[in-house]
């Protein structure tokens, strides 16, 4: 069974073109909604996914109607594949029920993984370079070394109230306990 999904981002846009194309492609049921592609929670997409059964094919008019990003698209198609469900995009001629379609999908997946690895390598190289120049990453400490020493000295005196010490230093009580550690 072919199950279709159509989406537009705003009320001003029309779903007609997508729905007509999905029906012409042979979709017996078409789920459609108006929702931004950036939204993670798309009710009709979720319903469509729950409606699909092994042996079905999930059809979209274009890839961008389904995925927010290449990574999201690959995740969705992998989930479908794990459940024995095919995926087809009308405009791109992409069909994972064929060997050629599976090949193209795996090439997309490899390219996405390659891109993620390049980003990770660049990030690590940038951090290494910054450390070599004496820069440390992360949040700056709330207290200077002198303030930490003063906090320890004040906390050593049991007559001092931790809440008052924290307020005087402009930090929370939990931060006070963490820095005197």
Query: Would you name the residues annotated as active-site residues?
Result: 9
How is residue 172 written in tokens? 């929370």
What is the C-alpha separation between 142 and 120, in angstroms, rounded? 29
Residue matched to tokens 């594949």: 81
DSSP code, position 134: T
DSSP labels, 36-88: -TT-S--HHHHHHHHH--TT-EEEESSGGGT-SSHHHHHHHHHHHHHTT-EEE
Pairing of strands 94-95, 86-89: antiparallel
How is residue 153 written in tokens? 């000295």
CA distances from 9 to 36, 42, 74, 139 (A): 4, 11, 21, 38
């Amino acid at each position: 069974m072919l199950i279709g999904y159509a989406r537009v981002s705003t009320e001003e846009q029309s779903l007609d073109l997508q729905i007509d194309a999905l029906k012409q492609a042979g979709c017996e049921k078409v789920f459609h909604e108006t929702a931004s592609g950036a939204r993670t929670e798309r009710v009709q997409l979720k319903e469509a996914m729950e409606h699909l059964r092994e042996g079905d094919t999930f059809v979209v008019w274009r890839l961008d109607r389904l995925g927010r990003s290449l990574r999201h698209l690959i995740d969705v198609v992998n989930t479908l594949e794990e459940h024995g469900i095919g995926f087809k995009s009308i405009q791109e001629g992409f069909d994972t029920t064929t060997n050629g379609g599976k090949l193209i999908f795996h090439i997309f997946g490899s390219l996405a993984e390659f891109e993620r690895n390049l980003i990770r390598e660049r990030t690590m190289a940038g951090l290494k370079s910054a450390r070599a120049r004496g820069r440390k990453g992360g949040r700056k400490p709330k207290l200077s070394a002198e303030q930490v020493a003063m906090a320890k000295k004040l906390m050593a005196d049991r007559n001092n109230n931790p809440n008052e010490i924290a307020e005087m230093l402009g930090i929370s009580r939990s931060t006070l306990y963490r820095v005197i550690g």
